[in-house]
Amino acid sequence: MRTIVVDDDQLSRKVIEEFVNRTESLTLVNSYSNAVAAINDLQNLKIEVDLIFLDVEMPEMTGIEFLKSLPTAPSVIIISAKEHYALEAFEYDVTDYLLKPVSYSRFFKAVSKVQKRVQMQRESTSFSENSDEIFIKKNGVFLRLTFNDILFVEALENYVIVTTFKEKFTIHFTMKAILAKLPPQKFKRVHRSFIVNINTIKGIEETNVIVEVEEGKKLIPIGKSYKEKLMSDINLMTR
């Protein structure tokens, strides 16, 4: 996995760099002493990354602010000297939370958790880039769904719920990973916890997206940053 380290603590950063270099499954792409440089490289597509080791308390931009700035993020493992950020960090779908000083055994356990999670996601869903369908595993059987079947996707802790007109599918997946499986021209993330099929959108309010469902309509919250992106993507006509 292609990996970066983001930590303003030089000693801690060097330790994690050494651990990455000692681990055969990881490749160190870059290391940053501040989150601003890292996020600029990510957003400008200067680097491709599968895993980020991220500190929380940093000048200019904190680790939490860093997570908020990425609509879609690779796997993230937090490294911090304080544990009270853990609850907020897990709201952003981080895979693990390591307390400094980090031992190699604890580091390796976190990396293994990422690998297991990625493997489970691959096994849960099958997708062909040139198709208009996705196969979702339910009760040991892969069921075929066309993209038009999917109304929206909702995050639920370490799972996502894929909602269609007729039923719901709960799979062990992250929002980041499921978004990568869906065609970007059809599916937009409108909130940290929601991805919407834009063909089902019936209206956009100040703080909600109105989606057509079997029962009539559903109000899905829309985050400010996601709304700006959505409004720039849709065919919008204003006075």
* Per-residue pLDDT tens digits of the chain, which is 239 residues long: 999 999 999 999 999 999 999 999 999 999 999 999 999 888 777 888 989 999 999 999 999 999 888 766 689 999 999 999 888 888 788 899 999 999 999 999 999 999 988 777 666 555 445 568 888 878 878 888 899 899 999 988 778 899 998 889 988 887 877 887 888 888 998 988 899 999 889 999 889 999 988 778 889 999 877 887 788 777 665 55
Q: For the structural domain made of 2-122, what CATH number should be given?
A: 3.40.50.2300
Cα(78)–Cα(53) distance, integer angstroms? 6
Report the pLDDT value the prediction gives residue 166, as an integer from 0 to 100: 83
Cα(2)–Cα(25) distance, integer angstroms? 9
Looking at CATH, the fold of the domain delimited by 131-233 is given as: OB fold (Dihydrolipoamide Acetyltransferase, E2P) (2.40.50)
pTM summary value: 0.59
Report the pLDDT value the prediction gives residue 195, as an integer from 0 to 100: 93
Report the pLDDT value the prediction gives residue 236, as an integer from 0 to 100: 63
Cα(97)–Cα(187) distance, integer angstroms? 30
Per residue in 150-186, is it b (16+ CB within 10 Å) or e — as a string? bbbbbbeeeebebbbeeeebebebbbbbbbebbeeee
Cα(54)–Cα(6) distance, integer angstroms? 5
What φ, ψ does residue 221 adopt, rounded to 5°? -65, 145
Check: CB of residue 5 under 8 Å from CB of residue 63. Answer: no
Closest CA to 192 of 171, 219, 163, 220: 220
Residues of the chain with CATH 2.40.50.1020: 131-233
Residues of the chain with CATH 3.40.50.2300: 2-122
Check: CB of residue 202 under 8 Å from CB of residue 217. Answer: yes
